Structure 1
């Protein structure tokens, strides 16, 4: 092709009836027989930058418009394919195709208009070779979530096993509390013994903030492995513990920090595989907690009496060893394709400080996290004291022994069911009624002083608290559309859960001591905190409705 300096731009009549757009711009085409260009899809428009008359001209041929001069930077790669995964983009449109001369067209009205809109006169030759395929945010959102597949469901299985081993035991602390009161820690008050379980949960949820940051940086495999080893070290060391401080270090510090390192990433990794079914799969994973909280109270309750504390703890430890090994082999992190990998003109991923400031300045995030704090303060009080409450008011000894197992057995079904409902009706629309039920039932426990009343309370509270714990994790994830923020937002949210678990049960225990063993003040405190949390969640829902312009939030 001749350069613009030696060959003047053809007159409008020479280009098959195409009139020039501007006097200073010309598009030169060779005079071969007309060849029609395949127009790009509407969702992926192909743009060509125009060049002034004094710069190099463009030659169009075949199905894809390409600059006539060599591409800078891009042509040094054979392709620009993303990571091998479901939803990866096709190979780059920049191949090593050679351009044949020619290309005159009979209908170029729309193409020329598009060229005119995308031109950049100020950049001149610097932008002459930019041919991009744009990907809309909607396409990125759809492509980035496979919504299933072998790796996705193996990750779901592994996450469920992790929560079964860890939080299943944590939610069985009522059995430990009752045993400690009668054996190792019989000289300590209920409030003192409650600090062991509360500190365990506080360290678990508070360390989720840092584990969320590590997860976003791609350290999941190491988090899961180190967390599993630390948890097993803690559980086997607990079998040798005899004093208050030994139990506190093993069960609260070692096991709490180890669980905090891996539980939040195990939920966040599901968010990288699923979007439409996210609440459901998180509920399925959370149901592992309910299964563990059914198994461990029965297992430990029987072995404590027949074989003693050390043997019971070691038996549970070997069971956890096998299940955590399976989890480490089945969960595989998935590299998420960000916009910078699909859009050549996109900006790089923002630094952690920028993302953190965006979350801190989001009023909806604060309101939701404070609301979750209030409900969780109430939620763990009945779980910690249901065994001792049942022994005091129920004439059926078996009901007291299996009280935690009954609650968590019902929680298993509600955790899965609440996820299904949340996917259809919205996370907030599901979480708020469950939070109301938790508050009402915490107040209602005051009147459950008969065997029949206590059994009804266990069934209803198991459904309410199981569904709430399942959906509450999805509340944090629903506040962002960026998968790169899932770990950080979940970590910050669980830090508020940590504060709730730290103060809730010890305050209830102190109220028990102050009222000579009466549960009225402790349960009124828990119910009131749940009501306050519900009010804040309603305000958070209002913010979310405004953002999405939909009542389905």
Structure 2
């Protein structure tokens, strides 16, 4: 029986008429309920009423209408409707009103208030603890990645002192292995972060980093330096740097890209300070003394970071899914694979100019200072772009900001081929510093954007940084092989890097399209 063929529910119905709700029973709209009305409440919002018969009345008789396709759960008096269907018709509203009036006449209190939706996870978006976490994460990245990005200073020292008998290509494996170990270990670090072990990760990473830096001050041979700088310091950095960025994602959502940019600016500060500090002390006091000075400076800053960074207590409404199920969900997510592929391609391009800009400037610039301070110029400009790109991403969307920056990194890598004069090279250093600084900052936020809730931030970021590790491991060696194969010409290496960034940009464009459809918004 459809709703259109129901007998009218009006006061004119006689007491001898058959009840439309309970067949075979006499029906009287004015009958007094056996019990108190307050004890027989019926809600239209979906809450379970005390008596089952009035609820059965509505569900079984009034809206016993078969529907094709999926249905949505409404209140008991609404009945099911198709997903995305328009508002109830005038007839449905009238029928619902008649049923409500009839039930009220019989003494059943009826509520028409809608049930409150399940609360979503809220983000503080500020507060003392949140901003202290930003400050502490900035200190961590200043001490760690700031020194890692200063490897060129160590390379110059090793070539003339401890490792003078080794070719530069062999020495450079210390720096590339350090970055690979760092990013590769970020996957397991992300899993531990999602399980709630952030405090242990930060302490263990800080202690391991300090052990590595002070051990490095005593190292004399290639193996000793490799174990201290590439392995010990790389593992320690991998344990804590990803969680230090992910912790910000638990405090901020609307300002996420901005605060990640602030933290990432610590890398730029360190990459400007440490080359100047170490370069001067290497000449005046020697390698061991210089490294120990840097180590004690890091000790003070990391102690402060461990004090001020506190993990946020996640609401109990957030259920941490088992790792296996989360991994399966990520593996089936096309947007995730497109993002990881896009980030991989663009990072291959990013590191090629960073690794070879000094030697490139030495070859083409007539001003020795340009070659000496080329990395410092890039990192100084990156400080501003890392913060600025975060602000833009929070307004326009993370993908909408990352895609142009990825494209710009590729274009500038191609443009480096033509920067064969001092003025052109300076322009390249400025533009590339802005582009790569903004890209590195926003790319970390792209990983977090894919997370369904805060319980996935660490894992998704860890997987993303693993692809960054692959980019650091294979990108520069391939460029070096192309450089050797072309007798020192940078054209092939830079074309390879620029092409990889363009492919990465295309991947990110497709990933953005998926996110736009998911969120029904172009601001992604």
- The TM-score with structure 1 as length reference comes to 0.76
1:252 matches 2:230? yes
Distance 1:207 1:258 in 2: 9
Distance 1:31 1:292 in 2: 73
Contact 2:179 2:472 in 1 (8 A): yes
- How far did 1:453 drift? 1.6
- How far did 1:22 drift? 4.6
* Secondary structure of the structure 2 residue equivalent to 1:140: coil
**1:80-95 aligned within 5 A:** none
Q: Which residue of 1 aligns with 2:155?
A: 177
What are the Cα deviations for residues 116-169 of structure 1, in whole angstroms up to 9, with x where unaligned?
xxxxxxxxxxxxxxxxx7543xx414xx20100010000110011111111111
- How far did 1:502 drift? 0.8
Distance 1:256 1:483 in 2: 26
Contact 1:178 1:387 in 2 (8 A): no
Change (3 A) 1:326 1:113: closer
Q: Which has the higher helix share?
A: 2
* Secondary structure of the structure 2 residue equivalent to 1:412: helix
Contact 1:298 1:402 in 2 (8 A): no
1:350 matches 2:321? yes
- How far did 1:446 drift? 2.0
Q: Which residue of 2 aligns with 1:433?
A: 404
Distance 2:199 2:447 in 1: 23
1:471 matches 2:442? yes
Change (3 A) 1:485 1:198: same
Q: Which residue of 1 aligns with 2:36?
A: 30
1:111 matches 2:110? yes
Change (3 A) 1:521 1:397: same
Distance 1:440 1:308 in 2: 41
**1:192-271 aligned within 5 A:** 192-271=170-249
Report the aligned-residue RMSD: 2.9
- The TM-score with structure 2 as length reference comes to 0.80
Which of 289, 296, 317 does residue 339 from structure 1 map onto? 317
Q: Which residue of 2 aligns with 1:154?
A: 132
Change (3 A) 1:30 1:424: same
- How far did 1:509 drift? 2.5
1:448 matches 2:419? yes
- How far did 1:338 drift? 4.0
Distance 1:525 1:173 in 2: 23
Distance 2:36 2:516 in 1: 56
Distance 1:28 1:334 in 2: 53
Q: Which residue of 2 aligns with 1:47?
A: 47
- How far did 1:542 drift? 1.5
Q: Which residue of 2 aligns with 1:457?
A: 428
* Secondary structure of the structure 2 residue equivalent to 1:279: helix
Q: Which residue of 1 aligns with 2:91?
A: none
* Secondary structure of the structure 2 residue equivalent to 1:481: coil
Contact 1:508 1:525 in 2 (8 A): yes
1:325 matches 2:303? yes
Structure 2 unpaired stretches of 5+: 1-10, 13-18, 26-31, 54-102
Distance 2:112 2:401 in 1: 50
